[in-house]
Structure formats: structure tokens, C-alpha cells
Amino acid sequence: MSYAGPEFDPPRPPRRLLRRPLTVTAAALVPTALAGWLVWQAVGDDGGAARAAPQTPRQAAPASPAGPDDGKRPDPAEPPVSPSDSAPSPLAHKVVVIDPGHNPGNSRHTSEINQQVDIGTGRKECDTTGTSTNDGYAEARFTLDVAHRLRALLEEQGATVRLTHDGDRDWGPCVDERARIGNAAHADAVVSIHADGSAAGNRGFHVILPGPVHAGAADTRPIVGSSRDLGERIADGFRRETGAAPSNYIGEGTGLDVRTDLGGLNLSTVPKVFLECGNMRDGAEAALLTSGAWRQKAAHGISEGIVSFLRG
């Protein structure tokens, strides 16, 4: 409990013996203080704690180039802000859409995902269940995990990141809806993350690029070139960060594959690629794909490719 006011102060003993020395000391300090005040008035405010006496107003100093003086002083305990601290983020105003392939719930909704949708060149299933490792680690779990890691890396650099789904729906979305999500976001880049389900012994990653399609609702001609640029940069970053080799069974060693039968690419109006990160049915690659540390490397590689593409 605190007390306020002189009526609560305890009585103090007389201190007559100290009165004269204190008077002398105070008297001695007055000339010094007066001299210091006069010097201060002559040189002006240098950013210290001293202020002019209220009865002697001074002309305000001009504002610094950094902006008008708001009367605040920097906290000496805080380090100064360097110009780089206030620089815009490298991916500011950039929109990236990440498309985690498949959905963990697709296997419980086979009738829904088997419905046919228009992909421009024909009709195809809404979606599939995806593949898995021999031990049952689902591709849909893998893709969502990598998507989360990739989102965090891109957001750290200032990008606006959207996912086509975030494990927040029972199944899907269908491939045509996945394309529409990227288009509606006016994305600067879209990456659909997958893992393959090929035969044992088939190893390596590959990036799927849209081929030229002009049929029905599909017209990839405006994005073929930019999508190839995006795919090549992602392939470079992925190989560098993970140490993975390009596919030994698709792409003839380039790590690149052009297709015109995928609705997610055919219906896209913004730069988009698919990335098959490895073969889940091969024991050696399954060991990598099920490793959290390796998936983090994968996310770094994809991020490097996207950043390189967005920076031009």
C-alpha cells in the first residue's frame, strides 16, 4: 500500500546543524548553474536532456531531412535503424499460389473426385488420390507439408502466398478449380507440388511445363515462355539445395517435361508449373521424401527458384 500527501509523512527530527552547510553549498552552485545555462543558450539544443527555460522561448530548429521533429528522442538503449532495415521486402507486391497436389481426404470421396471436368482439350477426372510410399506415407501429406514450409519461406521475403487448399476441405479441389484459384489471384507464379509413383529404380525429380494449347477454355500460348523460365529456375534451385538429380526416366536427363493433358496447366492464365519431387515407390527416394530435414531443403530449393523468377 502506498501513501500520498504530507499528512502521512512521519515527523522528522530537526536538522539545524546541516542547514548552514547546505545553504553555503547551494549558494556556491548558483553561479555555476547560471553560467552553464548561459552557455546552453549560446550554443542551442544538441540533443541532450537540457531544455530552455519556459520564460525564454527559442526559435524552433529546422526539421531534419529524415522528417519533421515530433518532439521524441531516440531511446539510447535501442540500436539505430539502418537504411536497409526500412528497405522494401524483395517480394513485396508479388503473389505466389502454391498448389499442394491431391488431398488427404480424396480417398474417402472417390465418387466426387471421379467426376469429369473440362480441361480444354477434353475431359478428365476432377482429381485423384495420389500415390504413397510402400509404408503408406501419402503423397497428399507430403505435398501439404512442403507447401507449408514453402509458404513460410516466401512470406519471410514479403510475398503474398495463397494455397489452393490447406487441409481445410474434405476433398479436392478439382483440377479446373485449382487453375481458377491461381488465375483469380492474378498470381505472379503458381507451383503445383507432387511426388511421383513410378517403378522402383526410377529416381530423380522433374518439372512439368505447359505445352502450347488453344482449345475450348484453354489457351496456354501467353504463358508457355514464362512458365518454362519459372520451371528452369525451380529445377536449378531444387537440384542445388537437395542434391537430387534430374529424373532418369522422364525428360531425357533435363529434369523438364512438357505436357498438354493436365487441366491445372491447360486452364492457367498465369505462369505455372508442376514439380514432381521424387519417386515415392523407390526405397531410396522414399527415405528422402519422408524426412522432414529433406523436405525443408526441398522447400528452400523451390523458394530459390521462385524468387529468382520473380526478380527477373
| Domain contains 288 | yes
Residues paired with 208 in a beta bridge: 257, 274
- Residue 235 in grid coordinates: 529445377
- The answer to whether 164 and 210 have CB atoms below 8 angstroms apart is no
Residue 76 and residue 22: Cα distance in Å, rounded? 34
| Domain contains 89 | no
Please list the active-site residues.
276
- The answer to whether 246 and 253 have CB atoms below 8 angstroms apart is yes
| Domain contains 301 | yes
**Domain enclosing residue 296, as ranges:** 95-311
Express each pLDDT in 2-13 by its tens digit: 333 333 334 444
Q: At 103, give phi and psi (nearest 5°).
A: -160, 135
| Domain contains 62 | no
Range in 69-78, 126-135, 155-164, 165-174 with the lowest mean pLDDT:
69-78
| Domain contains 124 | yes
Task: Report the half-sphere exposure of 80 (CA within 13 A, side-chain side).
Answer: 2
pLDDT band at 89 (very low <50, low <70, confident <90, very high): confident
Distant-in-sequence, close-in-space partners of 253: CB < 8 Å, separation ≥ 6: 246, 247
Residue 13 and residue 10: Cα distance in Å, rounded? 10
The domain tally of the chain equals: 1
Q: Is 186 helix (H, G, I), strand (E, B) or coil?
A: coil
* Residue whose grid cell is 478449380: 177
- The answer to whether 181 and 173 have CB atoms below 8 angstroms apart is yes
Q: What is the DSSP string of 43-59?
A: H---SSS----TTS--P
pLDDT band at 90 (very low <50, low <70, confident <90, very high): confident
Residue 228 and residue 273: Cα distance in Å, rounded? 8
Identify the CATH number of the domain in which residue 113 sits: 3.40.630.40
pLDDT band at 87 (very low <50, low <70, confident <90, very high): low
Task: Report the half-sphere exposure of 1 (CA within 13 A, side-chain side).
Answer: 2
Query: Across residues 152-176, what is the average pLDDT?
Result: 97
Taking alpha carbons only, the member of 309, 304, 311 closest to residue 154 is 304
| Domain contains 9 | no
Express each pLDDT in 219-231 by its tens digit: 999 999 999 999 9
Question: pTM higher than 0.75 for the full model?
Answer: no
| Domain contains 32 | no
pLDDT band at 76 (very low <50, low <70, confident <90, very high): very low
- Residue 21 in grid coordinates: 552547510
Q: What is the DSSP letter of 98?
A: E
| Domain contains 14 | no
